[in-house]
Every structure is written in C-alpha cells, then in structure tokens.
Amino acid sequence: MTTTEQPAAEHATATGKKVYLRTGDQFKQSLDDGRRIWVNGQEAANVASVPALSAGVDMLASIFDDQFSAEHSDVLTTYDAGLDATISAAWMVPTTIEELRRRRAVIEYTTMKSVGTYGRTFDLAPLITVGLKAYQPTFEKSSPEFARNNPNLAANITAYLEHGKRSNIVMAEVLADPQNDRSGPSGSTAGLLRIVSQEADGVRVSGAKSVGSIAAQADEIVFTNLLRPDFPPEACVWAALPVGTEGIKLISRPPVSKPGADPYDHPVAYRGEEADQFIVFDNVLIPNDRVFNVGDPELLQYYGRVCAWLHWHILTRLWYKAEIFVGAAQAVVDALGTARIPAVRAQVSELINYAQTLKAFIIAAEDGAFMTEGGVLCPDIPMLTSGRLHSIQNYPRIIHILQELCGQGLVMRFSKADFDNAETGALLDSLLPGHGISAQDKNRLMNFVWDLTSSGLAGRVELFENVNSTPAPLLHERIWAEYPRDMMAAKARKIAGL
C-alpha cells in the first residue's frame, strides 16, 4: 500500500461535519492485510489468530471505540482547523502550552487504559511525525546526491502528517539495530538496515530493525537508524511503511502476558501485551512519498530533537504509572493494616516522592517549552533527559518497595478456582481476611500487584523501561552534552574570585 491507499477513516455525521476516526472493528479488520508474522516458530494466518497479539489488539481497539464514547471523546478527539474535521487527538501538533497540556491528557488516558504496560501505545508514534514537522525547514534544505529520486523530503512530512490525521492509524516506532558484534565498525554489521537500490518509484532497503514494540499490532512502522560515526550514506534512511508491505517479515519474541486468563487471576496480564518484533526488511520498496531522509547523515543527527515529544510521552507515562504504584501501595497497606507502622509509611512516602519528582520534571519541561523552527512547541529537552534518567534509575527500587509492602502476599496468592472450590474456598475465606477486606478481595489486590511487579509481563516491562529510549549510560552522556556546564562554571569561578 502507499499513502493514498490507506484505510479511509472518514465518517459522515448527522451535522455534515467531517470526522476522521475509525472504530475498533475497522482497526481490527485493517490488520488482516496479509502481513507476515511468526510466533514460536509458526507463521500466523493473521494477528487475530495469535492470542497474545489479539488481546493487545483488542485493548487498542477499545481505545478506538472510546473515541466515540461520551466519557472519553473530549480527551481522545480534537478539531483540526486545517482539515476542518474531527481527528484523533493523538495527531495534534502542539503550538501552545495549553495544547501541550491538552495533548498530555491523551497520555494520561492511554496510561490508565494499559496500566502503563504499553510503552508504544496508540498515541506514542504520532509524536515522531510531530517531531519531523518541528524540524521541517531543516529537512527542506536536505538534498543529498543519494536522494536524487526523492526531491522533496519536507513535503513528505506534511503529507504523512495529514495521512495520519485522516487515517487514524497506530504506528510502531523503531530505531534499535539488530544486536550484532558491536566491536567493529557499525556500518559493516550484518543486520544493519541499508538502501540496496534506487528506482524511479522509491528506494529498496534490506536488513533489519530490532525490538519493534507493537509492530505486529500496528498499522504502520516509522523507522530510522541511529547515526554512528562510521555510517555509510546508504544506511542513512528515515521512512514509514504499512506493516503489510511486501518483504516485511516480523519475528515475535515469546509472549509474556496471560490472554484469556480470568481477570481475577491476572487483572493486568489478561489484557495482553505489546509484543516486540524483530523486523526483517527483505528487499522492501519504500515509495518516494514515504521517505523523510535518504543518504543524509546530517538529518540523522536530528533524531534526538525529533524524538523530544516521544521522550515527553515516555516520562509522562512513567509519572502517571508512578501514581498507580502509589495507589496500589496505599491499597496494600490498608488491606494489611500496616499503615500504622512508621517504617511502612516511609516506604509509601518514597513511592509518593518518585511520582512527585516525575510530575515536577514534566511540569518544568512544559514550563520551559520553546518554539522550534517548524513552529511546534517543544518541551525543554535537558529537563526531559534528566527526568528520564531519574525515572529509569529509580524504577527497580520502586518496584522492589511495592513488592516489599506486600510481604508474603505476592507469593501466597490463589486463583479464582481455589476460591470457587467449596472446601479450599471456605478455608481461604475464613483464614485469610485482611484489615476490613475479605480474603478474596485482598487476594485480587495481590494478583494485581503481582502482574505489575513480578509477573513475566512485569519483567518485560521493567526491561523496557530501562532501555526503550536509550539506557542510563547514554542518558548520562546526553546530560553532559546538553546541560549549560560552561555557564555554571563561569558562575562558580566568579564566586570563587577567579
């Protein structure tokens, strides 16, 4: 498919106003597009036939349906003056602080919807397009010899943004390279995605991208390579394609969630997961209108700036998720009657402090927002980088505290079937009640905290939080590069009389 062949999202309304929104069913149907996915060594007939994938798709589909609900439409949809239509608020391009905060409400909604376990949810990857728009003048100037058949990269950004708004699509965002030998020149590694030929209609690429979270469950993939010092021009590519494009093959990691489980047993994991895919590009044609960069290393240097809104999304989601952790902790100490113990209260306070600190980073980043050359309001980037480092360095400790507060409860959990059994159910009911809470409800709370902190799903999410948008060592490097150290040194020298 090309840009012009995407599923139409336009609906007629009684008032005659244009609405570019899809229903959950329309979204699900559009995924049955012949895409090639392997899970546990078997090629899937389609996404719906793989429980771990389809439960996640159902979760996404319910977001599409919420766009039409009285409860959520105010947050999930917005009026777009350029199109004179109602569109998904995920595709807003913020130009004022009010719009940035308005857009943040979508992140709060998607975090609550997935309990923060979907990092690449519905509204994340559209922010890459927002970032491309923010630096469109720079893309306008780029015309490397390599891009001879793709003259107008900037026009492609405008067209893609409009396509996203009109088609109400979900995208995966993939940067990571396959994990080959890192000791040699990165330009020579086997899996590196690179352009293998140019044709009148576009460029052909081969190679792979790794850890494409949600790719199998999304409409499209936006992908690039991260610039390294020794990169050949043919590895400098930035583009977006439908997942069903000929030559794209997705190999999934083993599933970690519990689709089909009773929600009592797995209050979070029954909702499925965003699966991670190894994405192979086997001589794939990228049509000219889907290319944002081809052959220009300078443009790859803009990746960090283009991703600022994405990083704002990630940190915001962690803030809202931290508030869920605080709520879970309070519910646990209430249920166990441990809230009167000062040492326990100190642990809950530590969770509160984590949530408050992440909130402060976000408020400060929004407060220090600046206008980009393309007229998009961007949260303060150094503030986001520091916030991201703080969020991932403390995440394992926060998880540990939540586990600690539960004591034996995270291990001595029982299934709904245990409570439904006449003999064991009666024993558990009579022997395990908590402080003003029945044994069954206390057990369900522990099942919830298990899914959040200790299950296979929680393990994947913890690894995701640690590295999904670059691990701590790289964030330290970014802070070193971004912070006005010289200015501070000048102040210190002046005070010291130097």
Ligand X SMILES: Cc1cc2nc3c(=O)[nH]c(=O)nc-3n(C[C@H](O)[C@H](O)[C@H](O)COP(=O)(O)OP(=O)(O)OC[C@H]3O[C@@H](n4cnc5c(N)ncnc54)[C@H](O)[C@@H]3O)c2cc1C
By CB under 6 A, name the binding residues for ligand X: 120, 173-176, 179, 182, 211-213, 276, 460, 463-464, 467-468, 470-471, 473-474
CA 280 to chain centroid, in Å, comes to 21
CA distance 201 to 395: 46
**159 or 474: CB nearest ligand X:** 474
Residue pair 160/240 in contact by the 8 Å Cβ criterion? yes
Least CB distance to ligand X at residue 473 (A): 3
Terminal-residue alpha carbon distance, the chain: 65
**What is the smallest separation between the CB atom of 276 and ligand X, expressed in angstroms?**
5
The smaller minimum CB distance to ligand X, of residues 31 and 406, is found at 31
Give the angle 211-216-222 at the CA atoms, nearest 5°.
65
Residue 268: CB minimum distance to ligand X, A: 16
Integer CA distances (angstroms), 29 to 61, 120, 242, in order: 10, 21, 14
Cα-based torsion angle of the residue sequence 253, 256, 259, 264 in order, rounded to the nearest 10 degrees:
-170
Indicate the residue among 146 and 312 with the shorter CB distance to ligand X. 312
| Spatial distance between the Cα atoms of 310 and 483, rounded to a whole number of angstroms | 20
**Smallest distance from ligand X to CB 212, Å:** 6
Q: Are strands 36-39 and 42-43 parallel, antiparallel or unpaired?
A: antiparallel
Nearer to ligand X, 348 or 475 (CB): 475
Of residues 212 and 434, the one with the C-beta less far from ligand X: 212
* Closer residue to ligand X in complex, CB, 391/468: 468
Smallest gap from residue 271 Cβ to ligand X (A): 17
Q: Which is nearer to ligand X, 75 or 175 (CB)?
A: 175
User: Shortest approach of ligand X to residue 17 CB, angstroms?
Assistant: 35
Q: Residue 174 Cβ, how far from ligand X at the closest point, in Å?
A: 5
Closest approach, Cβ 453 to ligand X, in A, equals 16
Least distance to ligand X, CB of residue 142, Å = 22
Can you read off the two tokens belonging to residue 40? 């546990």
Question: Which of residues 93 and 215 has its CB atom nearest to ligand X in the complex?
Answer: 215
Minimal distance, residue 231 CB to ligand X, in Å: 14
Closest to 327 measured CA to CA, from 115, 75, 63, 109: 115
* Identity of the residue, 473 or 484, whose beta carbon is nearer to ligand X in the bound complex: 473
Q: Which is nearer to ligand X, 272 or 409 (CB)?
A: 272
With respect to ligand X, which residue has the nearer C-beta, 66 or 274? Answer: 274
Supply the minimum distance, in Å, between the C-beta of residue 52 and ligand X: 14
By CB atoms closer than 10 A (0-12, 13-18, 19+), residue 25 is exposed
CB 398 within 8 A of CB 462: no
